[in-house]
Structures are given as C-alpha cells and as structure tokens.
Amino acid sequence: MDAPTSGRLPVVVIGAGPIGLAAAAHLVERGIEPLVLEAGAAAGAAVREWSHVRLFSPWAEVVDPAAAKLLAPTGWTRPDGAAYPTGGDWAERYLRPLAQVLGDRVHFDATVTGVARAGRDRIVDSGRDEQPFTVHFGTADGREERITARAVIDASGTWSAPGPLGADGLPALGERAAAERISYRVPDLKDPSVRARYAGRRTAVVGSGASAFTALASLAELAKDAAGTHAVWVLRRGIGTGTYGGGEADQLPARGALGLRAKAAVEQGHASAATGFRAEAVRRDADGRLVLVAEDGRRLDAVDEIIALTGFRPDLSFLSEVRLGLDERLQAPVTLAPLIDPNVHSCGTVYPHGVRELSHPEKGVHLVGMKSYGRAPTFLAMTGYEQVRSIAAALAGDQEAAERVELTLPETGVCGGAGLFDEPEAAKADTGGCCATPTTLRIGAPAGASGGC
C-alpha cells in the first residue's frame, strides 16, 4: 500500500475509535485526506469490549460536531442528547455509521507495527523534517504493508495495555502464571459464561476507581442470587471520605449512584476491604486457589478469581523510531502533563488544549485521546474532540483556528470511567458535573476501565 511521495500524501490516523474517527472527520472537513488504520475488525473495537458498561457522559458530549456534519446527509438519526449510551450503543449507533460514511478511508484488521521518518532512523538529523513518515502495519492474513504519510495522529488509546497487579508497576510475581484466573476488565455478568465464572466464588477486586466500583456493585448483585459469592476489595490506600466519590452530593447522579452502590456492597457484607495492601506476589494454596501477598508480608485469604482494575498505560513500542517528548511520570506530552496531573486535576479542571500542548520534537506526530494522557485517567471524549479539531486546523495551515479554544469545561469534581447507572432518565435533570453539558460548550468515554467520562 505504498503511497506516492507527493504533496497529496494522506494523514495516517491510528485507531478507529471515537477520537480517531473524529480526527478523520475533521481532516475531511479541512480538505485533507485521512487514512485510518484500525487493528480491530470493526469501528470502536476497544469500545465494544466494554459494550455492557454505561457512560457517565450523555450523547450530547460523545458525538463530535465534524462527525455529525459528515453523518447528517446520510439520514443518520442523532440519538437523544440527554440520554446516556452504553459502550455498545456508542459503537453501533455512532462509530459504525461514521466509519461507513468515511468508507475506504478506514482499514480494519490493520495493526500498526512501526512509525518512522522515511530513510531516517531515530538518530539521524540530516534532512529529517523534510522526509515523510512511513507507517508499517500487519494485516489479518499475515501480510506486512507500508504507507507513506505527511503526518501521523495516534489515537490508538490505552485499552491494549492494562496495568498489572504489582504495586511497583510491574506484574506481581506469579501474576503471569495465574493469567487464566485474572481479568483486567469489568466483567459482563449478564453473559452466562462470565456469570458462571464468578457465581458462588470469592473474587479479589484490585483498584480504587470507577471501574472497581462497577465490579464491586456487579458482584454484590450477583451475590443476592448466587450464595457464596463474595468480593474482596484490595486497595493500595486506606478508605477515607472521598473513597466512594461524591455520593448523593455528586453533581452527576450516575457517578454518585455508582459510588453508593459500591459502598453498600461493603456495608451489606457482599464485599470486604483489604486496605493499604500493595501486591507483590500471587501464590497458590494447596487447592490451587490464588493467594495475594503484599509487600509487607500480609497474605489474603485465598480467592478463586482476581479482577485487576489498576488503570492503563500507553503502548509506545511502535513509536520507538520517532522522537517523542514525554513526561517522565505520566508518559504524556511534556507540555500537557502538568495540565492533566491526576494528583491535581479532575477531567473537569483540565484546561482545554490542542496542537501546542500535543506537539513533540518530531514534527507531524501527535498522540491524541486517551493515549495523549499517558497514565492519567481523567480523560473526556469532548476533550479529545477538541484536540483533533486543533490538530486538523494546524495541518491545514490555519494556525489561528488551531490555537483558538473552542471548548470550556465545568470545574466540578473528579471524573472517572463509566458506570452501572441504568436509569439515565434520572440524570437528565442534572445541569452540572464534568460529564454533563455545560452551557458554555461550543464543541461536542470511558476509556474503559481506566477512567474518563
């Protein structure tokens, strides 16, 4: 799939998820030809893996404006802006038709394996900026191909790289050997086979974010029907006033309800908590059950299954030949990192940003969406839409539009993930919250188990 080396080279977009497809829509709007390479077999492949989970954000905030314009002439029916989609809704009712209207600009089963400057490895300076990019990818039938591009927008997300159990950021000793009993995703307990895996069993849930809340609440519901079902909530810190989120005071009812359900799971005895527990190893007892061992030597009672929900991280392996400027802690662009530091910011207090904050020493390469946040979990879909709007403007030479902020976020507390809230009508009256529509919004996930709205 070699493209001619001319001024009409496409911009390669890696990933056909919400932000990647929005990037393609903005490029088309600017008269720039995109080529989207998606590793999965369908649009929103990662989103489909958490299709059973409901977003905290309503439809009004998860449909990109440029994408909506592209879809409008096709007869696409825009969902009710006040309703809350599940991941499956998002993929089927928005991402699939968007990929269809983009047509042959989107290639599925195309796994990117490398990005580089044509004829220049990482260390070569001479003539570097004048060279186009080469993007190598593999296909489902085992072929290796290459495309030449004028720029690369990496919207591949972080779903493929979940965090391990080990408190030091590495897999705990024995974690790999116990892989068949460890899940890194929120389980879909409506699936009979998944339900059977956890029913009547003892499960450790490791993590402290919204995804852990979701798993705890789901297992507590299962415990009401399946005797012997119990969750052990493993937290690296203690339980404090903010452990369960905003509760009844939360400006986003969906998020608050989820925290209250997790709290109820503990108070009603369906879950017990192990606090200050920093996992170092996974052992097996005489019956083959799993035993978590902490750095301080503590051992938890044996469990049958483990659900590790410790966040996600960016896969940078295929970008090793381009020069990225990443923060040493978050693995986010160095200019963006202070704006998204989860120790300081929620997704509602992140300043809207664009091409300036997303630039790297390698001109023409941009990490966007969840991947741009590195290990920070506070991402909003509409923040990603603003990112790609700005980048598309810059690639079109419209620097004024690229630097103009077209998004204002409300400053209303910590955001995180998606939830179990299955009564979206109850949330329609809400007028605040980082995942609710602010009146100043001019533009408009979770990212699965890692957080985000």
Side-chain half-sphere exposure of 375, counting CA atoms within 13 A: 12
Q: Is the pLDDT of residue 380 over 60?
A: yes
Better-predicted residue by pLDDT, 396 or 211: 396
The pLDDT of residue 7 is: 55
Confidence of residue 347 (pLDDT cuts 50, 70, 90): low
- When pLDDT is averaged across residues 193-207 and rounded to a whole number, the result is 97
Residue 440 has pLDDT above 70, yes or no: no
CA distances (Å), 228 to each of 183, 260, 271, 285, 330, in order? 20, 23, 11, 19, 40
291 DSSP β-pair partners: 283
User: Residues in the chain, how many?
Assistant: 453
The 10s digit of each residue's pLDDT in 270-325 is 999 999 999 999 999 999 999 999 999 999 999 999 999 999 999 999 999 999 99
For helices 381-395 and 18-29, what crossing angle results, to 10°? 30
Distance CA 136, CA 133 (A): 10
Backbone angles phi, psi at 418, to 5 degrees: -125, 175
Strand partners, 219: none
Residue in 263, 258, 215 with CA at minimum distance from that of residue 435:
258
What Cα–Cα distance (Å) separates residue 162 from each residue in 66, 177, 283, 374?
A: 31, 17, 21, 12
CB 351 within 8 A of CB 337: no
Q: What pLDDT is attached to residue 242?
A: 57
Those residues whose C-beta lies under 8 Å from the C-beta of residue 381, and which sit 6 or more positions away, are: 18, 19, 57, 61, 62, 445, 452, 453
Mean pLDDT (the chain) is 86
Task: Tell me the per-residue pLDDT of 386-438, one tens digit each, with 9 for 90 and over.
Answer: 999 999 999 999 999 999 988 866 444 334 334 443 443 333 333 333 332 22
- The model carries a pTM of 0.86
Q: What is the DSSP letter of 312?
A: B
pLDDT at 416: 38
Q: pLDDT per residue over 3-54, tens digit each? A: 444 458 999 999 999 999 999 999 999 999 999 999 999 999 999 999 999 8
Q: Of the given ranges (82-91, 299-308, 438-447), which has the lowest mean pLDDT?
A: 438-447
* pLDDT tens readout for residues 224-273: 999 999 999 999 887 765 565 555 544 455 555 777 788 888 888 999 99
**More confident: 247 or 177:** 177
Coil/strand/helix, residue 213: helix
- With contact defined as beta carbons under 8 Å apart, do 173 and 201 qualify? no
